[in-house]
Amino acid sequence: MGRFQAASSLLVLFAIVVNNGLSVPMESRESWDYVEVRDGAHMFWWLYYADSHSAHYQDLPLVMWLQGGPGGSGSGFGNFEEIGPLKRDLEPRKASWNVPFYIFSESYGGKMAAAISLELTKAIAQGTVKCNFAGVALGDSWISPLDSVMTWGPYLYTTSLLDDYGLADVNTAAEAVKQAVEEQQFSKATELWSVAETVVEQNTNGVNFYNILTQEPDEKSALSLLFAPPPALQAQRHIGRLHSRTLSELMNGPIRKKLGIIPQNVTWGGQAEEVFTNMAGDFMKPVVDIVDLLLNAGVNVTIYNGQLDLIVDTMGQEMWVKRLQWKGLPSFNQLRWTPLDDPASPGITGAFYKSYKNFAFYWILKAGHMVRLSMFSFTYKRTHIA
């Protein structure tokens, strides 16, 4: 395989300023490269500079985006489908960020974001890193996998997607996952998690784990994948959707040519299944304790979750939040949430939020697993930026 035997992608967005309604200039400054993280393993990063000509770089925000999966691509899906300055069709994205330096994440990326934030906080305290770190945002993040799995049944039942028989089947499958986690057999728990997903699909006629109001196409249904091995099944469900044909053509065509440093033996998206397989032992491990450490260290932690997300449903998120040891939790729990308008539909509620000291939780309505950037950035600016 040569020098680039293993590679993953990390998208870093530097100082993306408020959009003034004009098109983002195609000649905006960018940088990209590989960094060697260990022998034979290289991480790709992509840096977008702000298009502001008046502010000093130290006065501009810095955003680092960590994709989920595991095996999803921040430089591909996160960049062109979610938060980058250009959309998949290479047209400028209207929504942009105006926040201090944050680590933003989605799904499994939330586990990495929490761990990286903790290490960064330690390094800042020790004086080995100088950084104006403002906090971490965990979007539909896989912080406590078991809480998500255990609430699939009740969530689907209350939304009329399971009957009594289906609820019993899903709960039974979830209990098997719970037993494996409690016995710390995490690789087995990941396999049983996949089994539980199949049970959900069979009893809901193929509900979409990323948005319960939609249905999986036949080629991605449980029946069509019935005889697929677990890694292929998991990759198809959770990574395949991030690699649409048009996005793959963009990344392996014009973007590959533009970057000019991608090795011949590396194809965008080609390592996703292998990444997922190698993370099986970590996948079901919780990191609630790390979130607690961040909160107690004074780090700003923001959670946002889509109402229609199943894979990381809001019920499960609320369960692990209620078990936090953070000293501010009792006061947070006593708060009533505050409604926020949808920026696209003034007068229509788009979200609710609660915030106490350095912890905030956003309930994003009509959103699935991939919460709209415009919705979260709007609500965050409304509540955090004077």
Asked if 309 is an active-site residue, the reply is: yes
What span, in angstroms and rounded, lies between the C-alpha atoms of 335 and 337? 6
**Which residue among 140, 147, 169, 309 is the active-site one?**
309
Cα gap 261→273, rounded to integer Å: 23
One-letter identity of residue 17: V
Separation of alpha carbons 112 and 105, rounded Å: 8
Alpha-carbon distance 6 to 228, whole Å? 25
Are 63 and 13 within 8 A, CB to CB?
A: yes
107 in active site:
yes
Task: Please give the full DSSP string across 252-319, using - where no structure is assigned.
Answer: IIIIHHHH----TT--TTTTHHHHHHHTHHHHT---HHHHHHHHHTT--EEEEEETT-STT-HHHHHH
Query: d(Cα 363, Cα 323) in Å, to the nearest integer?
Result: 18
Q: Do residues 263 and 3 touch, judged by C-beta distance below 8 A?
A: yes
DSSP class per residue in 296-312? HTT--EEEEEETT-STT
Options 96, 313, 369, 377, the catalytic residue: 369
Give the H or E element holding residue 198.
helix 186-204
CA 270 to chain centre: 20
Question: Among residues 107, 117, 144, 377, which one is catalytic?
Answer: 107
E strand or H helix at 350: strand 345-356
Phi, psi of 359 (to 5 degrees): -130, 135
Question: Angle 26-32-38 (CA atoms, 0-180°, nearest 5)?
Answer: 165
Catalytic residues: 107, 309, 369
